[in-house]
Amino acid sequence: MKSMTMTAVMSPLATVLWIGLGAGGCGGLAAGDGEADRGLGETADAITAANFSFDAVQFTGNQVAQTATAIPTPVDAFTLEFWVRYDGLAGAQAMVYNGDSSTSGYGLYVGTSGTVSALLGGVGWVGCTSCQLARGQWTHLAVERVGPVWMFFQNGALRGQSVQPSLAPRPPVGKLSIGASPSGGEAFTGAIDEVRIWSFPVPQQMLMLEMSRALRGNENGLAAYYRLDEGSGAASVDASPGNHPLSLVGPPTWISSGATLSTGIALDDAEFSGAAAGTTSTVVTTRTDGITLESWVRWDGGPNVQEVMYNGMPASNGYGLYLSNGNVLLLSGVALVTCTSCALATGDWHHLAAVLSQSQWTVYEDGEPQTVWNGLVPTASPSGVFTIGAGPPGAGAFGAAPLIGAVDEIRVWGVPRTAQQIQASYNMSLAGDEPDLLAYYRFDEGSGTVADDTAGNHPISLTRTTWATSGALLKTAAF
Q: pLDDT tens digits for the chain (479 residues)?
A: 222 222 222 222 122 222 222 222 232 322 222 222 222 222 223 333 333 457 899 999 999 999 999 999 999 999 999 999 999 888 899 999 999 999 999 999 999 889 999 999 989 999 998 999 999 999 999 999 999 999 999 999 999 998 888 888 899 999 999 999 999 999 999 999 999 999 999 999 888 878 877 777 878 899 999 999 888 999 999 999 999 999 999 888 999 888 876 444 566 888 998 889 999 999 999 999 999 999 999 999 988 899 999 999 987 899 999 999 989 999 887 788 999 999 899 999 999 999 999 989 999 999 999 999 887 887 899 999 999 998 876 555 466 789 999 999 999 999 999 999 998 888 877 878 889 999 999 998 889 999 999 999 999 999 999 998 887 866 433 32
Question: At 316, which amino acid appears?
Answer: S
Peptide bond before 251: cis, by omega within 30 degrees of 0? yes
Three-state SS string over 15-76 comes to CEEEECCCCCCCCCECCCCCCCCCCCCCCCCCCCCCCCCCEEEEEECCCEEECCCCCCCCCC
CB-based contact 106:143 (threshold 8 Å)? yes
According to the model, what pLDDT value does residue 265 have? 56
According to the model, what pLDDT value does residue 246 have? 96
For residues 410 and 460, what is the distance between their CA atoms, to the nearest angstrom?
Answer: 11
Q: Which residues contact 430 (CB under 8 A, 6 or more apart)?
A: 51, 411, 437, 440, 455
22-56 tens-digit pLDDT:
222 232 322 222 222 222 222 223 333 333 457 89
Angle in degrees, CA 146, 149, 150, rounded to 5 = 95
Burial tier of 6 (Cβ tally within 10 Å: 0-12, 13-18, 19+)? buried
The counts of H helices and E strands in the chain are: 3, 34
For residues 320 and 403, what is the distance between their CA atoms, to the nearest angstrom?
Answer: 13
According to the model, what pLDDT value does residue 51 have? 36
Of the candidates 278, 325, 328, 292, the residue with the CA atom closest to the CA atom of residue 426: 292
According to the model, what pLDDT value does residue 31 have? 27
For residues 74 and 221, what is the distance between their CA atoms, to the nearest angstrom?
Answer: 11
For residues 127 and 20, what is the distance between their CA atoms, to the nearest angstrom?
Answer: 8
Strand partners, 249: 64
According to the model, what pLDDT value does residue 411 have? 97
Strands (E), 200-290: 222-226, 235-236, 246-249, 253-256, 268-273, 277-279
Positive or negative, the Cα torsion across 427, 405, 327, 289?
Answer: negative
According to the model, what pLDDT value does residue 3 have? 26
Burial tier of 191 (Cβ tally within 10 Å: 0-12, 13-18, 19+)? buried
Angle in degrees, CA 382, 388, 393, rounded to 5 = 70
